Amino acid sequence: MRRLGVRLLRHFYRPPLTGVRLLHQGGILTGSLPGHSSTIPGSSCHIHRSVSSTAVSQHIQDLSGPEQRLLDKLYDGLISGQRASLAESITLVETQHPRKKELAQVLLQKVLVFRREQERRNGGKPVAFRVGLSGPPGAGKSSFIEVVGKMLTGQGHKVAVLAVDPSSCTSGGSLLGDKTRMTELSRDMNAFIRPSPASGTLGGVTRTTNEAIVLCEGAGYDIVLVETVGVGQSEFAVADMVDMFVLLIPPAGGDELQGIKRGIIERADLVVVTKSDGDLVVPARRIQTEYTSALKLLRRQTRSWNPKVVRASAHTFEGIPEVWAKMEAYRAAMLSSGELQGRRRAQQKVWMWSLIQENVLWHFQNHPAVRGTLPRLEQKVTRGEISPGLAADLLLKAFSETS
């Protein structure tokens, strides 16, 4: 598939650039790129530095005319900011269809090159601001995004909202609810709201959300907000793909806050206590104090920023401009120290590795030699007949011998 992808890439960029040249520009195919040698965490497996261009030239395959036209149309529409093209491009990255998946990679690569050029003109600084917003179900995330989003489009920003709903595959999710709760924003011509497709796995969240972010930025959205419900692991995946991670907490009793994982509090650059209006102002203040003390005990994630706890109400708008001001202050501090750029670079690597892990695991689980013996060995392990270590060794041996 990688080879086919390479073939497609090579073709798509002609003319005026030859495929190999563009791949070099895009940083994919450089035999001597520093930092391209990598090691799987926890293993001794080395990735070879180069993808030989000889191999590439041996495998040239043309895009069909309709494919070429589709990609040209999507790309042109996307970078000129057409919402329909953006929506269609995101649909392309969601697809499970193998060939379309490859077309999506061709498109993405081209958008990445376009964006990198924009960044270069921006003095090497990211053009868009990516913010992840997470919190327990019903914390007020969508309502918050609606008012902040409206405020920002009013100031001339273009705002994209991606709603990651890890439960959508099993329960139908609450995305429809999200759409209706963001009624005003969804009618705004400078806003784009889209449930970020989750294909059922965490890897799915990582791949499609990351790719959707890139596409939104290519379409000129300078603020990308990613909403995720704080259940499961998706919030950690989202924290790994944004410039700033915001945790929204309702002014609720202890029980409702029990579910908030300590790990995710550590990842928060800002904690917003929501619904700070009417009778809820008093509990909101209490939660603010509690979290302020809790955050003091946690290790600082960055040199240039101390996480803060603020209160806001989407209903009365109180505190909303102040929250945004804090978010901008964070961005400015992180940009001027270079930490934001560093975070993005590290995230690219995390992204790549999570895709590799997902892919390798898929190949392992679906390998005929493994699939045949897996259930039996699992049973033996659960019954305590053989040790997990031995079972893993047997499976890995069967996999590597027949691969």
Q: Which residues bind ligand GTP (CB under 6 A)?
A: 135, 137-143, 174, 177-178, 181, 229, 274-275, 277, 280, 313-315
Candidates 109-117, 119-127, 173-181, 330-338: pick the segment binding Mg ion (CB under 5 A): 173-181
Backbone phi and psi for residue 135, each to the nearest 5 degrees, phi listed first: 170, 170
Q: Among residues 142 and 288, whose Cβ is nearest to Mg ion?
A: 142
Residue 240 touches which of ligand GTP, Mg ion, none (Cβ within 5-8 Å per kind): none
- What is the CB-side half-sphere exposure of residue 353 using CA atoms within 13 A? 20
Calculate helix-pair angle for 320-337, 141-154, nearest 10 degrees.
80
Sequence letter at residue 158: K
Find how far residue 91's CA is from the centre of its chain. Answer: 16
Q: Which is nearer to ligand GTP, 90 or 314 (CB)?
A: 314
Closest to ligand GTP by CB, 178 vs 235, is 178
269 binds, among Mg ion, ligand GTP, none (CB under 5 to 8 A by kind): none
- For residues 317 and 362, which CB has a smaller minimum distance to ligand GTP in the complex? 317
Stretch that binds Mg ion, among 55-63, 75-83, 142-150, 264-272 (CB under 5 A): 142-150
Shortest Cβ distance from residue 78 to ligand GTP (Å)?
A: 28
Residue 195 CB, shortest distance to ligand GTP, in Å, is 11
Residue number with CB closer to ligand GTP (77 or 135): 135
Of residues 77 and 173, the one with the C-beta less far from ligand GTP: 173
Minimum CB separation of residue 116 from ligand GTP in Å reads: 33
Whole-angstrom distance, CA of residue 241 vs CA of residue 237? 7
- By beta-carbon proximity to ligand GTP, the closer residue of 141 and 207 is 141
Q: Quote the least distance from Cβ 163 to ligand GTP, whole Å.
A: 7
Residue 140 partner contact from ligand GTP, Mg ion, none using kind-dependent CB cut-offs of 5 to 8 Å? ligand GTP
Q: Does the protein bind Mg ion through residue 142 (CB under 5 A)?
A: yes
**277 contacts which partner out of Mg ion, ligand GTP, none, CB within 5 to 8 A by kind?**
ligand GTP
State the nearest-atom distance from the C-beta of 207 to ligand GTP, in Å: 22
Spell out a b/e string for 86-122, using b for 16 or more CB atoms within 10 Å of the CB, else e: bbbbbebbbbeeeebbbbbbbbbbbbbbbbeeebeee
DSSP count for the chain of H helices, then E strands: 19, 7
Q: Which does 211 bind (CB under 5 to 8 A by kind): Mg ion, ligand GTP, none?
A: none
Concatenated DSSP letters of 129-159: EEEEEEESTTSSHHHHHHHHHHHHHHTT--E
Q: How far is the CB of 140 from ligand GTP (least distance, A)?
A: 3
What string of DSSP letters covers 32-48? Answer: T-TT---B-TTS-PBPP
Six-digit token string for 45: 């497996």
Q: Is 141 in the site for Mg ion (CB under 5 A)?
A: yes
Rounded Cα–Cα distance for residues 102 and 195 (Å): 22
State the binding partner of 274 from ligand GTP, Mg ion, none, CB within 5 to 8 A by kind.
ligand GTP
Contact (Cβ atoms closer than 8 angstroms) between residue 103 and residue 8: yes
As measured in angstroms, the least distance from the Cβ of 283 to ligand GTP is: 11
Interface with Mg ion, residue 313, by CB under 5 A: no
Per CB under 5 A, the list member of 94, 178, 211, 217 interacting with Mg ion is 178
Q: What's the maximum distance between 2 C-alpha atoms anywhere in the chain?
A: 70
SS3 content of the chain, % helix, strand, coil (to 5): 60, 10, 30
Nearer to Mg ion, 248 or 334 (CB): 248
CA distances from 221 to 55, 127, 130, 303 (A): 38, 9, 10, 28
Name the residue nearer to ligand GTP (CB basis): 141 or 267. Answer: 141
Q: How far is the CB of 384 from ligand GTP (least distance, A)?
A: 41
Q: How far is the CB of 178 from Mg ion (least distance, A)?
A: 4
What are φ and ψ of residue 71, in 5° steps? -65, -40
Q: How far is the CB of 14 from ligand GTP (least distance, A)?
A: 45
Helices (H), 367-402: 368-383, 388-402
Footprint on this chain of Mg ion (rule: CB under 5 A): 141-142, 178
